[in-house]
Amino acid sequence: MADQTTEKGLYIHVPFCKSQCIYCGFDRIFKYQLADNYIDALDIEASLIGDERRVSTVYIGGGTPSSLSAKQLDRLLSVVDKHFDISNLVEYTIECNPDDVGEEFTAVAKAHGINRISMGVQSLNDEVLRLMHRRHSATRVHQAINQLISAGIDNISVDLIYGLPKSWNYNFIDEVDKFISLGISHLSAYALSYEEGTPLARMHKSGRVEKLSDDEAAEQYQTLTERMSQGSFDHYEISNFARGNKFSRHNTLYWQRKPYFGLGPAACAFDGKHRYSNTPDVAQYIDLLNNRKSPAQAELLTDDDIFNEIVMLGMRTRRGIDKEQMKRLPKKYSDHFREKSKQFFDEGYFTENEQFVKLREEYWFVSDYITRKIFV
* Residues at the interface with ligand SF4 (CB under 6 A): 17, 20-21, 24, 26, 28, 62-64, 120
Distances, alpha carbon 264 to alpha carbons 51, 67, 288, in Å: 19, 16, 12
SS3 268: strand
**β 240-242/234-237 pair status:** antiparallel
The nearer residue to ligand SF4, 135 or 336, going by C-beta atoms, is 135
CA distance 96 to 144: 10
Would you say 20 or 169 has its CB closer to ligand SF4? 20
Residue 118 carries which side chain, given as an amino acid letter?
Answer: S
Q: Does the bond joining 63 to the residue before it have cis omega, within 30 degrees of 0?
A: yes
CB of 134 to ligand SF4, least distance (A): 7
**Min CB(282)–ligand SF4 separation in Å:** 14
Nearer to ligand SF4, 26 or 349 (CB): 26
Least distance in angstroms from the C-beta of 224 to ligand SF4 = 20
Residue 148: closest CA among 191, 92, 203, 105: 105
Among 356, 344, 362, residue whose Cα is nearest residue 314 = 356
- Pairwise CA distance, residues 115 & 173, whole Å: 30
CA-based R_g, the chain, Å? 21
Nearer Cβ to ligand SF4, position 266 or 286? 266
Nearer to ligand SF4, 83 or 250 (CB): 250
CB of 19 to ligand SF4, least distance (A): 7
Rounded to the nearest whole angstrom, what is the least distance from the CB of residue 29 to ligand SF4 in the complex? Answer: 10
Residue 235 DSSP SS3? strand
By beta-carbon proximity to ligand SF4, the closer residue of 21 and 289 is 21
Per DSSP, 211 falls in state: P
Q: How far is the CB of 133 from ligand SF4 (least distance, A)?
A: 8
